[in-house]
Every structure is written in C-alpha cells, then in structure tokens.
Chain A
C-alpha cells in the first residue's frame, strides 16, 4: 500500500500523467484491444528527475510527445526509473497484426524503438549503431534475417 501510494505520488509530482488504470473490456474483444492499449515500458538506470526533467519526455520520445501518454515512477530496489508510454489513440487490431508488424507499419514499433533509444541515451549518452558497411551477401535466408533485424528494435517485450 505504502509503496503504491509513493508510486502514485511520484508520477503525480512529476506530472507525467496519472497512472491510468487499464479499462476492462468485455472478454470477447479484450485481447487484441488490450494488447494495443498496453503500456510499453523500460527501466532506466537514472533518477526520475533525470528521466523527465521539467515534465518533458526525453529524446527521441519528445518528438512523439503529442501522440503519447506517459508515466514515470521510481523502480523498486534502486533499479532506477520506470518509464512507460503508450499511444493516446490505441491502434486498431489490424495495425498491430503480424503482417503489419512485418511490414513495419505497427505504430507501436516506432514508440518501442524510441523508448529503447531514450534509455540508451540517458544511460550511456549514445545509441549504439550497427557496424557498417555490411560484409554480407544477399541470400534468401539472409534477406529474411536482415528484415527481422531491421524490425527488431521495435519488437519484443519492451
């Protein structure tokens, strides 16, 4: 209880939007909608005041700020700060379907990638970039791996 109140307090103090309770949707339609509405979240090894100084989202999330709701709270056990964001307009199920994700058209992918980059920038001052130029040759299997790799900063458990 005490912790829950502290957490709420922290997000209120930081003005990062109230910790919105997820709306319970009727069972039949809940799953895809629920996925689309889920908060995307990372834990950043920095203090909450470093993560959202003056209430503004850290780069590159700041560029998406008008489309996002956000909340921050201290992570338990000195693990830094939990930063959660989600699109104000939850995308339609079709937009988050597998084909859409493979095509790179799921709007959450951009948010996930930005969240990951924000964390890296705050923690290390840079976003590690892959090696170039590539040394690989195009093969059918290689193309598929390349596509997965390109999508992969926007996919996953974040």
Chain B
C-alpha cells in the first residue's frame, strides 16, 4: 500500500510499504477515508521530536472504515465507519479507568525511551516516533488500530466524514484544555494559537459557559475564522502588546484561564525569539516556550494555565517566579480523547459544534508532502489539509 513516510528532517515522501497486519486479538484494521495534518506533525517533521526513523509512517488524526477485526473485538464489525482517538488506550489500566487515556500503561511498546526522558512514559500514539510507541501512522491506505473497542468510535449518520475526522484529535484536545483548565460560567478565557486546536479550545470554553473568550494569533485568515466560526474575540499579537490588551479587556484582572495551543515552535517578533531559536538550534534547549511564558505572565492571580501545545524536553527562562508569586495552577496533557469523543460526536450531531471550516484543503495521498509544506508555512490560508488516500 501507499503511505506518507518521514525520511529525515523536513523530508516527506509517499512510498510503497507493506500492508499492516492484525498483531493482537483486540486489533482492527481500518481503511482510511480521511486523515489530516496536525501541528504536532510539524514538530516531528522539523526534527524536534527524537527517535524518528527514516521510513516511519506519520499521521494520527483520522477516520476510516473497519475492514478486518481481531477475534476479541466486541464493539466493531467490518464496514463500520469509525473515528479513532490519536492516543491508544487499553481501557483497563488505572489511567484509562480514571479517564487519563493518553497516560495508558499498556500501549507504549518502547517505554524505556520516554522513561529516560520524562521519568514515566505516556501511552502510545499513532505515527509519533519510537519514543511514543513506534506505531505506524494513519497517512496510508490502511492502519492497524490496537484496543479498537476502546479507541475507535462509531460516527453517527448525521456527522459527515470530514467533520468527524477532527474528533480524532484536535476537537478533544481543545475540549480537554477548557475542561481540565477548569473553565466555568462567567470566566474570561484567553487562548494562544488559532490553529485547529486553539479554535476548538476556544469553542469548548464558550460551550462550557465562559463569559468571554479571547484568541491570540498573527495570521489574519485564522483570526477571521476564529471570530466567524468560533464566536471568540481575537488579538493579533504582532499588532499590539498582548498582556496590556488582555489587562484592558479584563478590567485589569487578567484572564481566569489561559490555554496555550501553540507548542514548541512558537513564533515571536521580540529579541527573545532570536535567543530561543539559537538555543534550540544549538540544542541548549529543546523547545521554544514563547506563548507559555506570555500566558503565565498574563494570567490573573490564582488563575490556571493549561498547556496543550506539545513540548518534548527542556525550556529556558521558564517564569517560575510568576507561577509561585501569583499562585497559578499550571497544567498540561496529551489528549485524553476517549474521555470526550462520544460527547463531542453527540454535540456535533446536534449542531452545537462544527469543524467543517477547518478543512481548508483536500488532497489525495500522493500530494500529502505538498499539503504538509502548505500547512507548515501557513500558505494559501491552510488551517488543516485533509488527505484522502482513496482519491
């Protein structure tokens, strides 16, 4: 079959690879209907995520049709249209049982690598390096889904393929930021990043009752989209002083909850950017935490900062003083998709949450490298490029 493979830093190509096989009785094989580009992929394409091997298939946000089931699969049958959570959860370890699915104990088959990096490993994720389990990614004609009874979800008739595909990763990620960030009615919420993840965090904050949601980015079409489709206010961080603007809009208090949806390759115009970039390139720090620093600084006293953006290792100039002296709660997580997906699909079927506008481009698998190039450089208004292997 054909698959999109990582060949080296900033090198992707479509290759012929062997078809995936059922490896466990609780696996299914899914034929891809649609998958999409995620900001997390950019970090591994750019070489910021360690333990990638030449030829690794990438992609983790997807929807497809079940074509083969292992003998112990109970909830799925051939022909089912399913959206699959990007993290694999076994459903029965203590973490899965407590709805912390991305922390599953039983799905990272290479635990030692992440244990060395983080102390303990996270669960496995599709197409996201050997440190995260080395599972094949979904930008291919077929993908194996382990523990499918827990990670694959039937899509209601009322939700179309493209809309449902985002329920794999970006929608639950955003939802988790607002939910575990503790957003409640009356809150003012600020969200850094107007990619799919940031937009979905803003939408979730609104649905959870936030009084005002203010989204921050610099890309005009993303800011416009966030106002129009999400219903949030926006700030262009290149046009103003973000902290001052937030102070002014929040009666001098600062936002109650700050959600960071930018990640380790954050951009900034300030002198700190050159500093961060140089240190990152010299591998003196692995990540650029510009938006995290800003969120911690802007957050109200006693507020919460939730980090959704992916970071791999160590950051520099982390404002620990602000965290302690302002009494902040700082939290982050990889997404616990299985916790939110059924609720999100229900809301989508009822029309409370829409995602179709995120799909700005659609390409066949052969053109996936071009789609990633467009997504990486944010050209042609690209927010998410949908990759359809069957076309």
Contacts and interface: CB of A to CB of B under 8 A. Distances in A.
B94 A153 contact: no
B72 interface: yes
B134 A156 contact: no
Contact of A123 (B20, B92, B116): B92
B11 interface: no
* Interface residue range, chain B: 35 or more
Contacts of A43: 94
Of A129, A131, A136, A146, most buried by chain B (CB within 10 Å of CB) is: A131
B90 A153 contact: no
Given A128-B24, A129-B109, A146 B72 contact: no
Interface stretch (A15-23, A29-37, A90-98, A137-145): A137-145
A45 B94 CA distance: 6
B320 interface: no
Interface in B1-16: 3, 5, 15
B381 interface: no
B116 A149 contact: no
B147 A116 contact: no
Contact of B90 (A79, A123, A133, A155): A123
A154 B112 CA distance: 7
Contacts of A131: 20-21, 23, 134-136, 144
Of B23, B56, B97, B110, most buried by chain A (CB within 10 Å of CB) is: B110
A152 B113 contact: yes
A135 B58 CA distance: 11
Given A128-B146, A152-B112, A136 B106 contact: no
B147 A137 contact: no
Interface string B98-124: 000000011101111101100111001
Interface string A117-138: 0011001111111111111110
Contact of B110 (A123, A126, A153): A153
A155 B106 contact: no
A142 B134 CA distance: 12
Contacts of A59: none
A120 B134 contact: no
A119 B105 contact: yes
B136 A135 contact: yes
B301 interface: no
Contact of B113 (A80, A120, A123, A148): A148
A139 B112 contact: no
B111 A133 contact: no
Contact of A152 (B56, B94, B111, B135): B111
A141 B54 CA distance: 9
Contacts of B57: 135
Contact of B23 (A119, A132, A134): A132
Given A119-B105, A136-B56, A156 B25 contact: no
Contacts of A125: 25-26, 72
Contacts of A154: 112
Of A124, A133, A153, A158, most buried by chain B (CB within 10 Å of CB) is: A124
A102 to B, nearest CB: 11
Given A136-B54, A157-B119, A126 B112 contact: no
A138 B53 CA distance: 8
Contact of B134 (A119, A126, A130): A130
A97 to B, nearest CB: 16
A156 B56 CA distance: 24
Interface string A77-107: 0011000000000000000000000000000
A53 B213 CA distance: 55
B263 interface: no
A145 B5 contact: no
Contacts of A80: 94
Of A125, A149, A153, most buried by chain B (CB within 10 Å of CB) is: A149
Nearest to A101: B112
B78 interface: no
11 contacts: A45-B92, A45-B93, A123-B106, A128-B23, A128-B106, A130-B23, A139-B54, A148-B51, A149-B109, A152-B111, A152-B115
Given A125-B25, A129-B109, 17 more contacts: A123-B90, A124-B147, A126-B72, A127-B106, A128-B88, A128-B90, A129-B23, A130-B23, A130-B110, A131-B21, A131-B23, A145-B51, A148-B51, A148-B112, A155-B112, A156-B112, A158-B111
Interface of A: 43, 45, 79-80, 116, 119-120, 123-137, 139, 141-142, 145-146, 148-149, 151-158
Interface of B: 3, 5, 15, 17-18, 20-21, 23-26, 51-57, 72, 88, 90-94, 97, 105-107, 109-113, 115-116, 119-121, 124, 130, 133-136, 144, 146-147
